[in-house]
Amino acid sequence: MNQKYTQTKTFLTSDCMNLIGFADDLFHSIQIDNLLSENSVVVSLNAKFGMGKSYFLEMFENYLRDYKKTETIFINSWKNDFCDEPLIAICCELFSFFEKQNDEKTKPIRDQLKAVVSIFGDLSNQFLKAQLGTDIENTFNKNKSINHGKVIFDKFNQKKDLFEKLYNSIAEYTAEKQLIILIDELDRTRPDYAVNFLETLKHFFDVKGLIFILAVNKEQLKQSVECIYGKIDFDEYYRKFAQRDVALPYNEEGINKYIVKIVDDFFNKIEVDGKKIGIKKDALRYESYTTKVYMKEFFIKLKLSPRQINQFFRILLSFLISENNSLVLGYMFASIIYIAVDLHDSEIAKKIAEGEFGYKDFLDYLQKKNIDSRNYDMALNLLFLFSINREDLFDNKSLYESKFGTIEQSTFDRRGGLFGPFSNNENDFAIMQKIGKKISQSKIFFNQF
């Protein structure tokens, strides 16, 4: 098992996305598939980048081992693609699993796995030595009796017999207990490696009792396949390898739970240089509209992935630290809105920073994204955030009143005070532009791929 995946993350302690029900359903479905299939079972678990595939696999492996008493192997295919040949990486992971059992029953499997990698000895000898403790080059040098050409010829003729023996040995083992192999990051590997990996599973490990779960971004995997074969019917091609196609759920209940936890962690636990950031939740509250409400509304309606939400807080924290001398409520709201929009659509964010996306444009944008622009607090706050100068401010005020009703002067003055030092200086009004430019300059350090 990969050392990264331990019992520290389980559905009981870490299931912020409410995926335990999905895990139960997935387990039951693969049991049915395994019962009915005469060969291996391959399940494709699909989600876009950053939606929590790796996080789910981590919890699912512990779930399988601790609650279902099922044997598992975890393979990070991206970390192994330097080896060029996926057969080597898969055999090494299998060998590591069976070596831990260290019994006579699995000894034939271990010996056959070593024999398989030995006939691919012209590949990374250093990799094999580190994984198996076998120096292939020295083994060949000691054992070749006639010449190296004969060794190559013998290797070729040995393959069919060797793979048949390995197949039978694994089948004998999995006839008594199934083995679930979780494969992550296949869509991030080189195109040739990804295709070779799929075909290796099909050709060499199509054994009843072996269950493979491939966590992939299917669209990215499609591009990898087309890099090798050109434009093809990808769904038909992929169906040769994966019998079941499952989407990792994205549900508002789960994301709400996740957002509440990560926002609380952000405000209550994050420290920089041993000191907590100087922002308190109560200080960011205005009437019923809290910072949390802004975050939740934009996270959900823009469908930001868990990875993007984590990236959001890294960028926001950097901004808060740089502005900790005089952070007013308006700047906080502006930064939340800008970062969320930027992660969803960087072109819109760029227009905001350059003053090419005004108050009316943003209200229309909110409406298209089904964000609650009808909320008076939201619309009124945005009125100040998107005003470029005093003239623009009163134009936006007129637009607001045409949609939402008259603003009392006292309300207008009080709300304006929350959004910065208003004076005759036109630049004091360009909050969204200021925030956008500052964040755009610093976020290069937080881009993720």
The total domain count for the chain is: 2
Same-domain check for residues 85 and 200: yes
Q: 2 lies in a domain? A: no
pLDDT of amino acid 85? 86
Domain at 198, CATH number = 3.40.50.300
Burial 169-205 (b: 16+ CB within 10 A, else e): bbeebbeeebbbbbbbbbbbbebebbbbbbebbeebb
Same-domain check for residues 232 and 310: no
When the pLDDT of each residue in the chain is averaged and rounded to a whole number, the result is 80
Residue 420 sits in which domain range?
252-446
Q: 3 lies in a domain? A: no
Among candidate residues 219, 247, 275, the one where a domain is terminated: 247
Fill in the amino acid letter for 31.
Q
pLDDT grade, residue 45 (50/70/90)? very high
Summarised one tens digit per residue, pLDDT across range 363-413 is 999 889 988 766 677 888 888 888 877 788 888 899 999 888 898 888 888
Q: Is 323 left (phi over 0), alpha (psi -120 to 50) or beta?
A: alpha
Q: 381 lies in a domain? A: yes
For the chain, how many residues are written? 449
Q: 6 lies in a domain? A: no
Same-domain check for residues 325 and 423: yes
Mean pLDDT to the nearest integer, 106-114: 92
Same-domain check for residues 257 and 144: no
Q: Are 343 and 299 in contact (CB under 8 A)?
A: no
Q: 260 lies in a domain? A: yes
Q: 384 lies in a domain? A: yes
Same-domain check for residues 221 and 274: no
Q: Are 379 and 352 in contact (CB under 8 A)?
A: no
Q: 79 lies in a domain? A: yes
DSSP per-residue codes, 105-168: TTHHHHHHHHHHHHTTTTS-HHHHHHHHS--HHHHHHHH-SS-HHHHHHHHHHHHHHHHHHHHH
Mean pLDDT to the nearest integer, 70-83: 89
Same-domain check for residues 26 and 161: yes
108-122, 126-140, 157-171: the lowest-pLDDT one: 126-140
* Residue 405, CA distances (Å) to 165, 222, 399 in order: 80, 51, 10
Same-domain check for residues 144 and 27: yes
Among candidate residues 195, 227, 247, the one where a domain is terminated: 247
Pair type for strands 71-76 and 179-184: parallel
Asked if pLDDT for residue 127 goes beyond 80, the answer is no
Same-domain check for residues 227 and 337: no
The most confident of 249-253, 254-258, 311-315, 326-330, by mean pLDDT: 311-315
pLDDT of amino acid 80? 82
Query: For 193-250, what is the HEC assignment?
Result: HHHHHHHHHHHHCCCCCEEEEEEECHHHHHHHHHHHHCCCCHHHHHHCCCCEEEECCC
Fill in the amino acid letter for 84.
D
Same-domain check for residues 187 and 49: yes
Same-domain check for residues 41 and 110: yes
Burial environment of residue 333 by CB neighbours within 10 A (0 to 12, 13 to 18, 19 or more): buried
Summarised one tens digit per residue, pLDDT across range 302-339 is 888 888 888 888 888 777 777 654 556 677 788 888 99
pTM of the full structure: 0.74
Q: Are 174 and 203 in contact (CB under 8 A)?
A: no
Among candidate residues 226, 247, 268, the one where a domain is terminated: 247
Q: Return the sign of the alpha-carbon dihedral for residues 403, 409, 410, 416.
A: positive
Summarised one tens digit per residue, pLDDT across range 406-441 is 988 888 887 777 775 554 454 556 778 878 877 876
End-to-end CA distance of the chain: 26
Q: 4 lies in a domain? A: no
Q: Are 64 and 27 in contact (CB under 8 A)?
A: yes
Same-domain check for residues 131 and 90: yes
